[in-house]
């Protein structure tokens, strides 16, 4: 999760937001329904599962807590092993950006059965520009049966000197990424290789309001933290993209408009509509019925938001400290990494980490209808 101190205007209309306040009904599940799937002395920020139940994890560079792989597979006995191998997880020594992970920020199984990795490269987050000769952001997709990369996509064309490529979703041959450092969405056409930045510096992609976690405004030193375009989900029918900066609110746009290169950015922005006044959010998921699951990192809970924009509390528990990139597996189980981002040194005025180890991934056997990007 990147951090920025820059602010961009204008904001969404306050009247529209007032109509979409989050619901406050009692939680559907008690906290006791959470089960610990994995606990670690290092911070994890994403989990994804293959259809056969293989579990993959990412450990971000900002996590600290000891040495270990950046991308790992959780083994049946509870240990983890570097994925696909040690070499890909040894950037510190190899400095071979084409064949190793630099700064992984997200991973997920794609509809093609490949494991996709979002590597932000040597990005500076909020401040001086990224080094022009540094490792660029890239996407790497692995065949999990062989451990061999099928796609390595360098993202120079779709990024700027202030970019921090954050997360990824799929729609057919289109890859949709969020840029949390220089607010925008990035579209990559797998057929042509073309990369396009859209909705750059628009209100829907820009963090314009204070981020709140565990009852306080998040700061980086003496400045309010800003995380721009971050969460995104594609509806099960492929017709709609939901997206937001980490502070909220959530917007939506028809995928047909987003993928239309004939629309100018101004025309595209006119097709964006407010969807829900989400709180500060660490991660999201979407089920096969189109319901969104959105973490409320201020109140340590998960909200359920229907496709009609009706919100309710899905589960609340004090252990859900910065619930990040969630996953719904083929059995309908919701996987929830609680990564404690707001307690890391970056978000402390004195620069001292207040993370309480271990960091855990929880599961909730909610029997949700699974929906993966099409």
Tokens representing residue 338 in the block: 């609680």
pLDDT tens string 99-116: 999 999 999 999 999 999
Q: What percent of the chain has pLDDT over 70?
A: 90
CA distance 363 to 20: 28
The per-residue pLDDT for range 71-86, each reduced to its tens digit, is 999 999 889 999 999 9
* DSSP 8-state assignment for residue 13: P
* Mean pLDDT score, 86-96: 94
Instruction: Say if residues 182 and 199 touch (Cβ distance below 8 Å).
Output: no
Half-sphere exposure of 15 (CA within 13 A, CB side): 0
pLDDT, tens digit, for every residue of 205-243?
A: 999 999 999 999 999 888 899 999 999 999 999 999 999
Domain regions of the chain by residue span = 14-365
Say which CATH architecture domain 14-365 belongs to: 6 Propeller (2.120)
Tell me the pLDDT tens digit for each residue of 166-186.
999 999 999 999 999 999 999
Distances (CA, A) of 261 to 1, 188, 241: 29, 12, 16
User: Which pTM does this prediction carry?
Assistant: 0.93
In whole numbers, what is the pLDDT of the chain averaged over residues? Answer: 91
Distance between CA atoms of residues 309 and 305, nearest Å? 6
**How many C-beta neighbours within 10 Å does residue 199 have?**
23
Q: Is 237 exposed, middle or buried (0-12, 13-18, 19+ CB in 10 A)?
A: exposed
Per mean pLDDT, which range of 61-65, 136-140, 364-368 is the poorest? 61-65
Query: Taking the mean position of all CA atoms in its chain, how far away is CA 65?
Result: 21
- Whether the bond between 10 and the residue before it is cis, its omega within 30 degrees of 0, is yes
Mode of pairing for the β-strands spanning 104-109 and 301-305: unpaired
Classified as helix, coil or strand, 4 is strand
């Amino acid at each position: 999760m990147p951090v920025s101190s820059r602010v961009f205007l204008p904001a969404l209309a306050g009247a529209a937001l007032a109509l979409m306040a989050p619901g406050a009904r009692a939680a559907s599940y008690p906290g006791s329904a959470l089960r610990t799937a994995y606990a670690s002395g290092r911070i994890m920020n994403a989990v994804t599962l293959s259809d056969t139940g293989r579990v993959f994890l990412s450990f971000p560079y900002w996590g600290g807590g000891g040495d270990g792989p950046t991308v790992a597979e959780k083994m049946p006995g509870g240990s983890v092993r570097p994925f696909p191998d040690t070499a890909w997880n040894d950037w510190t020594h190899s400095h071979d950006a084409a064949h190793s992970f630099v700064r992984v920020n997200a991973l997920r199984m794609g509809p093609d059965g490949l494991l996709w990795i979002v590597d932000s490269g040597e990005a500076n987050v909020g401040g001086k520009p990224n080094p022009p000769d540094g490792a660029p952001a890239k996407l790497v997709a692995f065949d999990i049966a062989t451990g061999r990369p099928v796609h390595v996509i360098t993202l120079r064309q779709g990024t700027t000197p202030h970019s921090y490529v954050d997360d990824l979703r799929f729609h057919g041959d289109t890859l949709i990424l969020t840029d949390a450092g220089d607010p925008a969405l990035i579209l990559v056409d797998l057929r042509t290789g073309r990369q396009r930045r859209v909705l750059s510096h628009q209100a829907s992609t820009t963090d314009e309001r204070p981020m709140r976690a565990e009852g306080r405004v998040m700061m980086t030193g003496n400045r309010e933290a800003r995380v721009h375009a971050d969460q995104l989900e594609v509806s099960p029918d492929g017709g709609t993209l939901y997206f937001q900066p980490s502070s909220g609110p959530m917007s939506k746009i028809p995928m047909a408009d987003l993928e239309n290169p004939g629309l100018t950015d101004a025309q595209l922005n006119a097709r964006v509509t407010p969807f829900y006044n989400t709180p500060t959010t660490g991660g999201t998921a979407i089920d096969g019925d189109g319901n969104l699951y959105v973490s409320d990192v201020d109140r340590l809970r998960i909200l359920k938001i229907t496709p009609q924009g009706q919100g309710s509390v899905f589960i609340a528990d004090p252990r859900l400290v910065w619930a990040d990139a969630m996953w719904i597996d083929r059995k309908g189980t919701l996987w929830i990494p609680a990564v404690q981002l707001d307690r890391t040194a970056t978000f402390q005025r004195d620069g001292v980490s207040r993370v309480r180890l271990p960091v855990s991934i929880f599961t909730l056997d909610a029997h949700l209808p699974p929906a993966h990007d099409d």
